[in-house]
Amino acid sequence: MAFKGEVTIVLVDPLYGGNVGSVARAMANFGLEKLMLVRPAEGLLEDKMLAPMARGQASHIIDGIVVVDDLSEALAEVELAMGFTTRLGKKRCDGIDLGPAMESLLDEVPRASVAGVFGSEDKGLSNEDLEKCHWLVRIPTAPALSSLNLSQAVCLFAWELFKASSEEPLDYEETRKVAPVAQLEGFYTHLEEVLDLIGFIQEENPARMMNAMRRIFSRRLPDERDVRILRGFLSKVERTAKLSKQ
């Protein structure tokens, strides 16, 4: 089964024009076109190393860069956001390696609109950024040096996508249409309001519970019909809870 979806590379808080140029070069090597920057460092797009590192074959990617102020804006129409991180730890225990992630992508949503989300060169993605991603993805490396250069990480992801896109074509016309991030964010906001209303969230840190909820629903990406059903259920619970308090 081949991957036939659209792919956007999203760089959050990138610091150096040379690295962004190298990312564009890696994208061009494997047929990716869409590059978005979230809050790039001041002057990055004027960095004299940006174009040389991209080389001529990737200049169209540099010319087409889209800059936004917030990751939510970058992911609004995306159906599957894959946040890349090396630091899984206690709060990131549900991360998956790149290989199994690609297998799940092909099995579950081979026509999805996908974003590969990568953090800044010095700090990576924050917990807040990772919460906005469906899957937390790790690229396995030798333990002695676990972090990859930004363009190296993008290159490995792009190569896996290129391989997946070169497989046999899909033998069916329709696949499940997963809900875009903006629709899911509306659901999560509604869910938190209802959980608070019924007294389910009683911890000092409600964000921890909501992060767990996000991870639960990300294991099988809800489609648009799923989200409508879930929102309808939440609305019914919300009305019943409010009536009981009158």
What confidence score (pLDDT) does residue 172 get? 39
In the DSSP assignment, the letter for residue 81 is E
What confidence score (pLDDT) does residue 92 get? 45
- Listed in order, the ranges of the chain carrying CATH 1.10.8.590 are 181-244
The string of pLDDT tens digits covering residues 135-147 is 999 999 988 888 8
What confidence score (pLDDT) does residue 170 get? 43
Task: Provide the whole-model pTM.
Answer: 0.73
What confidence score (pLDDT) does residue 100 get? 92
Contact yes or no for 78/114 (Cβ under 8 A): yes
| Class level of CATH domain 181-244 | mainly alpha
- Listed in order, the ranges of the chain carrying CATH 3.40.1280.10 are 6-165
What confidence score (pLDDT) does residue 167 get? 58
The string of pLDDT tens digits covering residues 96-124 is 999 999 998 988 888 899 999 999 999 99
In whole angstroms, give the CA distance from residue 208 to residue 239.
Answer: 26
User: Is CATH 3.40.50.1370 the classification given to domain 6-165?
Assistant: no
Helices (H), the chain: 17-29, 50-54, 59-63, 71-75, 98-108, 127-131, 150-165, 181-197, 206-218, 224-244
What confidence score (pLDDT) does residue 91 get? 47
User: What's the average pLDDT block by block, 10 residues per block, for the chain (246 residues)?
Assistant: 89 95 94 96 92 84 95 94 79 75 88 94 92 92 88 95 72 62 88 85 75 81 84 86 76
What confidence score (pLDDT) does residue 158 get? 95
Chain centroid to CA 141: how far?
21
